[in-house]
Structure 1
């Protein structure tokens, strides 16, 4: 929850959603953040379920500062974290800067 920006951030498989807390039914902003193709292939080769196990399941979304979120995902069983530019007010940039 980001009350300063009037947003709530939700992580899911391959996506980070940003919803307006004042109008939750408004179309959310979405950032597509899949696992890399190489990591998905490695996951499949390890015998994991490609549909339900080899995605990037977002596990951590934490405000880092006024402009960025720190996000971490499962990365198809190869965890990855990055900083996400959350923009101003109701905007979220789609730029993923890998750490």
Structure 2
């Protein structure tokens, strides 16, 4: 039964992740910039006068990852309850 749940989640999750991605990032370059800021030490961003851009980019990337994890857990719970209800009817 776990395989069925995982398959259903995998089918749906990519569209959900894409929606979340478009909600947080304007385009792929915005995501790449956030990723670059995530790997750049804060002191270097400070010397480049990009400290607050760095902080905001790191926040957006962390927020995206956290929301994706939360959505996956919630979706797993919902699908699991639906499958359990279907199996009780059978």
Q: TM over 0.5, yes or no?
A: no
TM-score for both structures, normalised by structure 2 = 0.30
Which protein has the bigger helix share?
2
Which protein has the bigger strand share?
1
Q: Which one has more relative contact order, counting CA pairs under 8 Å at least 6 apart? A: 2
Larger of the two Rg values belongs to structure: 2
